[in-house]
Structure 1
Amino acid sequence: MKYIDKGTEPSFFTEWKNQDKMYQRGRPNWKRLDSTSKKRLHKALIKEQGAICCYCGTRIRVNESHIEHFRPQKQYPELKLEYNNLLCSCQFELQKTEPRHCGNAKGSWFDENLTISPLDRCCESRFEYLENGSVQGSNNDEAAKQTIKHLYLDINKLRELRQAAIFAALEDIDILDEKMIQEQIAFYSQRNSSDQLIPFCSAIIGVLSSLLN
């Protein structure tokens, strides 16, 4: 999981809410948001996240992702149109054999004390990644364990993708000295020239950081 620094709500979204009578009456309805505005919002969220999934960190595009309500609409109807509750998760239309994970697996599950938010500045430190691509809670963090469990963040598919990304990053290091590792950590912490983060950057950084211990 990568920390998402939530920016200012897009002006077009604010303007739409200001003109929507239901929202102004305190009855926000996600279904009332027109498709054009929803697509613009979708793109804005992807850009804000550096084009990676808010939960697993894989690369996302509009046609391969969906807008995610961090606090589910059923339990928190008042937050349906609140920008700070909107994220972008991978998986849109699943293939028959494709396993669910991230927002699709999470569904309506939510626990204020056990669901780790990508908007929490400390979220990255609460997960530990291994070179084989596995992820677990740091220091037996129960919330991290439950988040991994309910979002299926440690399934084979994601482990294999993380492992490939981690191995590719380690191959770039000829000499595993502290300076080189620090430089690689800085590299994977930044966005590229396309304003995108590298997929699974948190996992890569986590493994690199463990080499300094």
Structure 2
Amino acid sequence: MRIDGYITQHNFYKCYCHIDHVKAQDHCTPDETVTYSNMVACYPGPNPEHETPYGGDKKGNWPDYTKGDQTLFVSPLDQSCETRFLFNLKGEIKYKEGDKAAETTINKLGLDHKELKDFRKAAIQGTLGKQNNLPIQNARNRLKKLKSQHEGRLEPFCFVLIQALDKHIKRLEYIAKSKALKNKNKTQHQKRRK
């Protein structure tokens, strides 16, 4: 989701993100508590009126490092994070068969919550169109642009969109190949009849 900072320098109530510790502060050494590599900006803003049923609020103090839970946590800082989760065109999140850490992370962070699913679905439809009718060349250009984002502000749900565009392109390529094969067979059949 889009993470927005403070609207004005002096109005701290207008921030739409909070700082979350990847390794919960309850399990940190004093140095880890203030280490930047252990902090990420997360939705929602600080002190929301209602607890968010997913993400940092749901995660709480998990994983408990004293119980070895860290092996069941796919950190957002993990290089493989983007590929550990699978998304379909309905915005649903899944995990690769046998990936216990991804499965547990989805459950512990509520990543399968309906609200998140709806946000992802809206982003996918905003990219592919409600009828999944984005032309193949436009889809390829869009995918190339998303894959080249390495710095600055990433597009919301960018790795969800990368997976959706990849599936969309493969589907359109399959349809085009099927039509070409059908036309080829039809032409050959007509030649034989002559």
The answer as to whether partners of 1:190 and 1:197 remain within 8 angstroms in 2 is: no
Task: Give the alignment partner of residue 174 of structure 1, picking from 134, 143, 147.
Answer: 134
Unmatched runs of 5 consecutive residues or more in structure 1: 1-57
Q: Work out which of the two has the higher radius of gyration on C-alpha atoms and give 1 or 2.
A: 2
Per the alignment, in what secondary structure is the counterpart of residue 136 of structure 1? Answer: strand
Distance apart, 1:77 and its partner CA: 2.5
Quick one: distance in 1 between partners of 2:116 and 2:43?
12
Quick one: distance in 2 between partners of 1:161 and 1:101?
13
Unmatched runs of 5 consecutive residues or more in structure 2: 6-14, 64-68, 172-194
Distance apart, 1:202 and its partner CA: 1.1
Q: TM-score, normalised by structure 1?
A: 0.64
The aligned runs of 1:93-132 (5 Å cut-off) are 93-96=47-50, 99-110=52-63, 111-132=69-90
Question: Is 1:196 matched up with 2:153?
Answer: yes
Per the alignment, in what secondary structure is the counterpart of residue 41 of structure 2? Answer: strand
More helix by share: 2
Q: Deviations over 1:153-187 (max 9, x none)?
A: 111110001000001111296323xx543322122
Quick one: distance in 2 between partners of 1:125 and 1:139?
13
Task: Give the alignment partner of residue 64 of structure 1, picking from 5, 12, 16.
Answer: 16
Aligned residues: 152
Change (3 A) 1:166 1:174: closer
Q: Which has the higher contact order (CA 8 A, sep 6+)?
A: 1
Write out the 4+ residue segments of structure 1 that deviate beyond 6 Å after TM superposition.
Answer: none
Quick one: distance in 1 between partners of 2:98 and 2:21?
27
The answer as to whether partners of 2:44 and 2:52 remain within 8 angstroms in 1 is: no
Superposition CA RMSD, Å: 2.3
Distance apart, 1:190 and its partner CA: 4.3
